[in-house]
Amino acid sequence: MTEKAYGIVWTDKGGIFNFSHAHVVAQIAERVATGYTGELWLINHYGQTKLTEERGDNAFAKVEIITADTSEPSDEEFAALDFPVLRVAMPRGRFKMYYPLSMKDKFPWENRQWDEGFSDCYRLGLDYYATELGITLPNVPTPKNYTIQMMTYAKVNLFVENFESSGFEQVLVPEVGDALLIQSGLATFDGPDHVGIFMEDNNFLHHYRGRMSTLQPYSSMWRQKTTMVLRHTSRM
C-alpha cells in the first residue's frame, strides 16, 4: 500500500521520490565521468537544490553512487536508512531519492517536495497552523495549476476571498505565526498567488512553486511583494 505526503510516495519500507532536477543530475554525471570518489550532498538553498562536496546544516540528502542495475535499495538497506539518500546506479545512470520510513510521520518544515494541490505553499500553511498553533484551517481544494484555477473561477482570488471566513484579519506589522499573502509575479493576474508564514529572526517559511519548502530571510524584496499580513483571530 502506498500513499503520498510532502510530495513523496510512501510505502511500508520508506519514501520514494523521482528526483527531477536536471542541472544537479548533470553535475553528478560530470563527477562520475571524472572519477570523483569523495562525498556528495544535496543542500536546500532557499528552496533550490544544489550539489556540494561538503555536508552543511542545510543538507537534506546524501548522494550515493553504486554499481548496480537499479537504484532501489534492498529491504535491509531501506530499513537501515537514517537520512535521505539520492542513489545513482551506474553504469546505467538510474537514480531516485529514498527517505527513511521514520520521516513519514514527522517531516521537517523545510525540504518538502513540490506537488501542487497536495504539497505546496497552502498545504504547508495548513500543516503548520494545525501542528504548531492548534488551528484547523479549511483545506480549499484547488486544481493542479493555480493560474488556471484563477481563470476557472473568473479571476476570483481564493486567498483574498477566503481569509475572513477562515478566521483571519488584516494587520500592519507581522508577528511570528502570521500569514503573508504574496504576489510572486509568476501568475498573470493581480493579487496574491503565494502564502508564507512569518517566523523568528525576521525569516519566513514558504513553499515556492517548483521548489522545496524553505526558511529564508523576509527581505525587502519579499516585503514589497507582500499584499496582506493576516493574523488568526484566535491569536489576537
35: left (phi over 0), alpha (psi -120 to 50) or beta: left
Report the DSSP beta bridge partners of residue 207: 213
Q: Specify whether 8 is located in the same domain as 75.
A: yes
Q: 10 Å Cβ neighbour count for 220? A: 8
Q: Specify whether 48 is located in the same domain as 92.
A: yes
- Of 103, 132, 154, the residue that ends a domain is 103
Q: Specify whether 165 is located in the same domain as 79.
A: no
Q: Specify whether 144 is located in the same domain as 209.
A: yes
Q: Specify whether 134 is located in the same domain as 189.
A: yes
Q: Model-level pTM?
A: 0.90
Q: Is residue 114 part of a domain?
A: no
* pLDDT for 226: 97
Q: Which three cell numbers, joined as nine digits, stand for 218?
A: 523576509
* pLDDT for 117: 83
* pLDDT for 192: 87
Q: Is residue 108 part of a domain?
A: no
Identify the burial level of 185 via C-beta atoms within 10 angstroms of its C-beta, where 0-12 means exposed, 13-18 middle and 19 or more buried: exposed
Q: Is residue 156 part of a domain?
A: yes
Question: 119-145 burial string, b = 16+ CB within 10 Å, else e?
Answer: bbbbbbbebbbeeeeebebeeeebeee
* pLDDT for 41: 98
Q: Specify whether 77 is located in the same domain as 140.
A: no
Q: Is residue 190 part of a domain?
A: yes
Number of domains in the chain: 2
Helix (H, G, I), strand (E, B) or coil at 108: coil
Q: Specify whether 70 is located in the same domain as 33.
A: yes
Q: Is residue 29 part of a domain?
A: yes
- Of 103, 135, 155, the residue that ends a domain is 103
Per the structure, the complete domain to which residue 12 belongs is given by: 3-103
Q: Specify whether 142 is located in the same domain as 220.
A: yes
- Of 47, 73, 103, the residue that ends a domain is 103
Q: Residue 27 and residue 177: Cα distance in Å, rounded? A: 38
- Return the CATH number at 208: 3.90.1720
* pLDDT for 158: 73
User: In order along the chain (236 residues), what is the average pLDDT of each group of 10 residues?
Assistant: 93 94 88 92 96 94 93 95 94 92 95 91 96 93 58 64 93 98 76 93 96 97 96 96
Q: Is residue 179 part of a domain?
A: yes
Report the DSSP beta bridge partners of residue 18: none
* pLDDT for 1: 77
Rg, C-alpha atoms of the chain:
20
Q: Is residue 116 part of a domain?
A: no
* Nearest residue to 218 (alpha-carbon basis) of 174, 188, 185, 183: 174
Residue appearing with cell numbers 502570521:
178
* Nearest residue to 28 (alpha-carbon basis) of 39, 13, 44, 15: 39
